[in-house]
């Protein structure tokens, strides 16, 4: 068995988005169901792409498809926790981006969960890979390590 990677800290992420848990988020074990973490990642990244990158998911010339994802859970969260989703870019290609996200209880330094997903951008009309639009790429660059 391989050694588990270290739990990320707040300083590992460049941008944060608030999320308030809801009563209905808790499952029969008293914590948020694992599928919700992916929803929170998706909410933060899509908010960022629309607000800072100008993405128009309903009518714009490009769409983004998730082609890979994963999540590691370190400790449970649930209602009534106030959360923050940390976001950074792990890799930026011509038509794809690897988003790296983490869930933090508000004010806590270590992530309760961390994960990733890969978006591939495609043209709306042909659904073939296409270059990430420049305004969106710039928003992504601000969240990437200096080497990208």
Q: What pairs with residue 98 in β-bridges? A: 91, 118
- Show me where the domains of the chain are located: 13-141
How many angstroms separate the CA atoms of 32 and 71, rounded? Answer: 14
**In terms of C-beta density within 10 A (0-12 exposed, 13-18 middle, 19 or more buried), how is residue 23 classed?**
exposed
Give the pLDDT score at 6: 86
Can you give the pLDDT of all 148 residues of the chain as single tens digits?
A: 456 668 999 999 999 999 999 999 999 999 999 999 999 999 999 999 999 999 999 999 999 999 999 999 999 999 999 999 999 999 999 999 999 999 999 999 999 999 999 999 999 999 999 999 999 999 999 999 875 5
pLDDT of 133 = 97
The DSSP symbol for 52 reads T
Fold of 13-141: Thiol Ester Dehydrase; Chain A (3.10.129)
Query: What pLDDT, on a 0 to 100 scale, did the predictor assign at position 145?
Result: 84
Quick check: pTM over 0.85? yes
* pLDDT the model gives residue 4: 66
Rounded to whole angstroms, the Cα distance separating 77 from 83 reads 9
Per the CB < 8 A criterion, the answer to whether 113 and 102 are in contact is yes
């Amino acid at each position: 068995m391989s050694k588990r990677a270290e739990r990320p800290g707040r300083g590992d992420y460049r941008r944060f988005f608030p999320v308030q848990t809801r009563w209905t988020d808790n499952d029969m074990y008293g914590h948020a169901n694992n599928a919700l973490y992916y929803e929170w990642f998706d909410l933060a990244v899509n908010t960022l792409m629309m607000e800072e990158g100008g993405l128009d998911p309903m009518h714009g010339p490009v769409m983004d498809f998730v082609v890979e994802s994963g999540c590691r859970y370190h400790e449970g969260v649930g209602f009534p926790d106030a959360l923050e989703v940390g976001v950074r870019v792990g890799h930026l290609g011509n038509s794809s981006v690897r988003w790296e996200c983490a869930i933090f209880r508000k004010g806590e330094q270590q992530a309760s969960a961390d994960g990733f997903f890969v978006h591939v951008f495609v043209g709306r009309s042909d659904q073939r890979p296409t270059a990430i639009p420049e305004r969106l790429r710039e928003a992504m660059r601000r969240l990437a390590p200096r080497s990208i």
